[in-house]
Chains A and B, each alone.
Chain A
Amino acid sequence: MPERVHEITLTVNGTVRRVAVPGRRLLSDCLRHDLGLTGTHVGCEHGVCGCCTVLLDGEPVRSCLTFAVTADGHEITTVEGLADGERMSPVQRAFAECHGLQCGFCTPGFLCTVTALLRENPAPTDEEVLEGISGNLCRCTGYQNIIKAVHRAAELTAEES
């Protein structure tokens, strides 16, 4: 029996996208394969590593633990949607400036998580940063530069607003 296909509408990075997906298509796979947005990375598919974090109606969630169908009608921001046109967002620039990435595999997830973190808490303490990024794993950096980047992003955001 062919699997039933669901027509869904996602607003991805501000653009309305209609896609037809089987019920068990993960949001991460839908973004990467159906919509060609390969910036969202998939590390573990067990909800652990946080690479696949995207913003669902502005809140960071794991796209590997979300069905595309469940996101029907909602707004999604992926790493591709963080920049303002050609200009990287403050969080993106801070990660580059502070060497908050090496291989970059974990970076899209961190960027989405940190974007939401700073929106809620524009000047977090070290402890709040640690708590905020506790659901994102990085095998390369040892986190210190990521934490610096979060504080730098907070500064940049404050300077530019």
Chain B
Amino acid sequence: MDFLRPTTWAEALAAKADRPEAVPIQGGTDVMVELNFDLHRPAALLDLNQVAELAEWTSEEDGRLRVGAGVPYVRLIAELGNRLPGLAQAARTVGSPQIRNRGTVGGNLGAASPAGDSHPPLLAGDAVIEVESAARGVRMIPAAEFYVGVKRSALEPDELIRAFRMSPATGPQYFSKVGTRNAMVIAVCSFAIALHPAERRVGTGIGSAAPTPRRALAAEEFLAAELDWDARLDPAVLARFGELAAEAASPIDDVRGTADYRRHAIGVMARRTLTWAWNEFRSGHFERRAG
């Protein structure tokens, strides 16, 4: 097995162009488990840990954050927790401290598991994934188009994930996950919500309840039409939102839970996260905190 160790992003792209079969490795918390399990033996590994720019984040001119694929969860929580609260909440539930010290959103995206905890908040917060190849340059892929199948993403073999871009939260964001609470927890299912008050819109993301992470689009459209932003939450609206979110899921039965249970849990989490977000929004707490 070859071990490729580029030290710059340009070298990394060149290496991936030259050896598209090389498996990238960032925190290693997914890849290494597979290697140790002997699930596959790649001909080459592409270690991205020396590419310093991947571990950086910046504020772009358009106001969005550009977060390098190699920023570990522990730093995302500490440094960006206020600006990306939904993602930070999800990050806090990933594995254990040792896993969060090494694991990254980039690796979560690379693995593209339907159970990855980053995905629902990325979807709810309209994240865009920045990928790049030596041959074709940069592509910006909206999160909703990034996940294409079970553990399959829109990434081409010669491409690498450079960063994700996401606006700092303009309203409350929440993440909820059903799973046993310890290391080695793969979510049974999860749900993320992001209020976008300026646009009078609510973003959603569902995890572990369909072949890919996905938005609950009908539920989002329903809220865009029915939610009265100047009033308390109408229980009928809340209930219907839960139903539509549950309908957006197409879960399976597996060792972690049945399809029926997952559908039920998605409805519960959708109602719960919307209630939390709405209470925070109505209390004016969010503006005060952001200001």
Which chain A residues have a beta carbon within 8 Å of chain B's beta carbons?
Answer: 3-4, 6, 22-24, 26, 45-48, 50, 53, 56, 59-62, 64-67, 69-70, 113, 117, 131-132, 134-137
Smallest Cβ-Cβ distance to B183: which chain A residue: A135
CB atoms of A47 and B1 under 8 A apart: no
CB atoms of A64 and B97 under 8 A apart: no
CB atoms of B183 and A48 under 8 A apart: yes
Contacts of A61 in B (CB 8 A): 98, 101-102
CA distance A117 to B97 in the complex (A): 9
CB atoms of A47 and B2 under 8 A apart: no
Give A92 Cβ to nearest chain B Cβ, in Å.
19
Give B159 Cβ to nearest chain A Cβ, in Å.
22
Q: A46-B36, A65-B28, A135-B98 are in contact. List 19 more A-B contacts (CB 8 A).
A: A24-B3, A24-B45, A26-B36, A47-B29, A48-B184, A50-B96, A50-B98, A56-B101, A60-B98, A62-B29, A62-B98, A62-B102, A64-B36, A65-B33, A67-B32, A67-B47, A70-B25, A134-B181, A134-B182
Give B64 Cβ to nearest chain A Cβ, in Å.
29
Give A134 Cβ to nearest chain B Cβ, in Å.
5
B95 at the interface (CB under 8 A from A): yes
CA distance A113 to B98 in the complex (A): 8
Pick the contact of B99: A22, A24, A62 (CB < 8 A). Answer: A62
User: Chain B interface residue count: which class?
Assistant: 20 to 34
- Scoring B residues 6 to 27 as 1 if CB is less than 8 Å from chain A, else 0, what string do you get? 0000000000000000000101
Known contacts A46-B36, A47-B33, A48-B183: does B3 contact A113 (CB below 8 Å)? Answer: no
CA distance A132 to B101 in the complex (A): 12
A-B contact pairs, 14 of them (CB 8 A): A4-B3, A22-B1, A23-B3, A23-B45, A45-B36, A47-B32, A47-B33, A53-B98, A60-B101, A65-B36, A69-B3, A70-B28, A113-B97, A137-B183
CB atoms of A23 and B32 under 8 A apart: no
Contacts of A53 in B (CB 8 A): 98
CB atoms of A4 and B102 under 8 A apart: no
Contacts of B95 in A (CB 8 A): 47, 135
CA distance A62 to B36 in the complex (A): 13
Which chain B residues have a beta carbon within 8 Å of chain A's beta carbons?
Answer: 1-3, 5, 25, 27-29, 32-33, 35-37, 45, 47, 49, 74, 95-99, 101-102, 181-184
Contacts of A60 in B (CB 8 A): 97-98, 101
Contacts of B183 in A (CB 8 A): 47-48, 50, 134-135, 137
CA distance A137 to B95 in the complex (A): 13
Known contacts A48-B184, A113-B98: does B47 contact A3 (CB below 8 Å)? Answer: no
Contacts of B5 in A (CB 8 A): 69
